Structure 1
C-alpha cells in the first residue's frame, strides 16, 4: 500500500461542507466517489487536515489516502481532475511515508478572509467575498489583530457548538491588508477552533466600526466567554489558504 498526500482547492459555494454528511453534496464525498471508481468499486477513504463548513473555500486543503494502485504521483492529479467536477481542483500529489497524517502531522494552518468594501455588491463575487459597505477604521483593526498574537485560551472565539475541551491555540501572524476596495485578513496559527476565524473576523469588524476599542481585545480573550466577542462572519469570505508541515510548507 502507498500513502498519497494531496493538495486540493475547491469553491465551497455548492457544497454542504467538506465532510461527508447523510445528505447534501460534500467535497469529501465527491472525491471519494471518484477514487472508488478508479479502484473498481473498492471504497477509498480520504483523511483531511480538517473540515470546512458549507460555503467555505480552500486554496490549499490537504488530505491523504492509501492505495494499492501503482500510479506515478504526477499522474494521480491528471486522473483525478479528469473525473472531478470543475469546482474541485487537485493541485499536487506526492507519495509520503505511512507515518504521515494530513491532520495529525500538521504544524499549522493559514486562513484568509476577503471583505468587499464597495458601496454596491458585486454579483460576480457574492459567493467569494463578504460585502461590507460600511466605514471601517483599518488602523484600529490592525492594532486589534496584533493583540491576538501568541498563545491564548480562545474560548471567547469558539462556537458554542464546539466539543473541544482544550481551547488553547497559538497565533503566529495576523495581518490586515488593503488592496483597492478589498480588505484581506490573513491569520496563521497552530490550529483553529470551530468557527474561530470567522469570529475573529467578526470581532475585528466591530473594532473597525468603533463598537469595540482595540485595547478591549485582551479583556475579551481573558473573559473566556463567547458572548463577549463579535458576531460570526459569513462563510463565503473564508478560504483555507494552506496547511503547514514540518518538512515543508504547502
Structure 2
C-alpha cells in the first residue's frame, strides 16, 4: 500500500487501527516510546480543542517533523494538568522508516526541555500502549517541612503539618486488594466500573521527603490523588486510619477528603507482557533509586 493512500497516519489510526488478521498496512510500522515530562508546564497529557499546551501536542509535533508526516499517538494513561511522568508509554503508527535513535535523539531535539523520550522500540501491531498494559505504578512525593521548599517546588507537594507515617501506613494497607473505589473517583470519571485492584501501596520516608507508591491493574480519574488526600488527613490527625475502610464501604465521593495537589504525582511505570520485550528503566523520579516495589512493603 503506497504512502498516497495514507497521507496522514492520524487519519489511518482513527479509521482502522490494524487490518484484518492483526497486521498493519504494507510499509507501516508501530513504534513504542517511553516518555518523561514535567507536567507543571502542561495542561495535562491529552490534546485539547482549545489548543492549550499539552504533552501530546508537543510530542506529536516533534514526531511529525521527524517522520515527515502527521503522527497521532496513543498513551498508556492520560495524566492531569500538573502531573508528571518518568515512565509514560505511548505508541504511534508511521510509514517513516527511522532507526530507534532517531525517535529518541531526533525527537528530543524538537521537544521542549520539559519533555524527553527515554527509549524507542518498534513493536508488533498487536501492541497497544493502553490496552496491552497489565498494571500501572504511581509515586506521590511529599515534602513534609515547616517552611515551604524553594527547590523543585512544582515537582513536590508541600505539607506543613507534621505527618504520622505509621497511621498513614495503616490507612494505606486497607486500600490493598480488589475494591469498589467509588469514594476515590472524580465526579467526572467516565470509567464503566469503579472496581480496581491495588497490588501494593508502599510508604517510605527519606529526610523531609515522604514517597507513596501505589500499583494497580488500572486507576480511576483522580483516584491516586484522592487516596493521598485521605491519607494526608489521617497523617495530620484529622481522621483515624479506619476511615479508609468506612469510605470504601460508603462508596460516595462526597464523604471523602480533598483531592491532593497534582505537583507531587508521577506516573513511573507501566507493565506489559514479557513477550513484547520492552526496555526496563529505573522508575524515578531521579532522587529515588528504588525499583517499583523496592520500598518497604506494608
- Residue 135 of structure 1 deviates from its aligned partner by 1.5
Q: Any idea what the Cα deviations from partners look like across 1:59-101, whole Å, max 9, x if unmatched?
A: 1000000111111223321111111111011001111100100
CA contact (8 A) 2:34 2:88 kept: yes
Which of 106, 128, 131 is equivalent to 1:104? 131
Correspondence list, 1:57-206, <5 A: 57-206=84-233
Which of 55, 59, 64 is equivalent to 1:31? 59
Q: Any idea what the Cα deviations from partners look like across 1:7-51, whole Å, max 9, x if unmatched?
A: 0000011101100012210100011111222233x2110100011
Q: Any idea what the Cα deviations from partners look like across 1:109-153, whole Å, max 9, x if unmatched?
A: 000001101111112221011110111111010011011000001
- The higher relative CO (CA closer than 8 Å, separation ≥ 6) is in 1
Unaligned runs of 5+ in 2: 1-27, 281-298
Could you tell me how far apart the structure 1 residues matched to 2:160 and 2:250 are? 31
RMSD: 1.2
- Residue 240 of structure 1 deviates from its aligned partner by 0.5
* Structure 1 stretch displaced more, 98-107 or 20-29: 20-29
- Residue 234 of structure 1 deviates from its aligned partner by 0.4
CA contact (8 A) 2:63 2:103 kept: no
Q: Secondary structure at the match of 2:225?
A: helix
The yes-or-no answer on 1:246 pairing with 2:278 is no
* Structure 1 stretch displaced more, 115-124 or 188-197: 115-124
Q: Point out the structure with max Rg over C-alpha.
A: 2
The yes-or-no answer on 1:229 pairing with 2:256 is yes
Which of 244, 247, 270 is equivalent to 1:217? 244
Residues paired across the two proteins, number = 249
Could you tell me how far apart the structure 1 residues matched to 2:175 and 2:64 are? 43
Could you tell me how far apart the structure 2 residues matched to 1:38 and 1:92 are? 15
* Structure 1 stretch displaced more, 207-216 or 42-51: 207-216
- TM-score normalised according to structure 1 size: 0.96
- TM-score normalised according to structure 2 size: 0.81
Could you tell me how far apart the structure 2 residues matched to 1:74 and 1:173 are? 35
CA contact (8 A) 2:198 2:217 kept: yes
- Residue 165 of structure 1 deviates from its aligned partner by 2.6
Aligned to 2:3: none
Unaligned runs of 5+ in 1: none
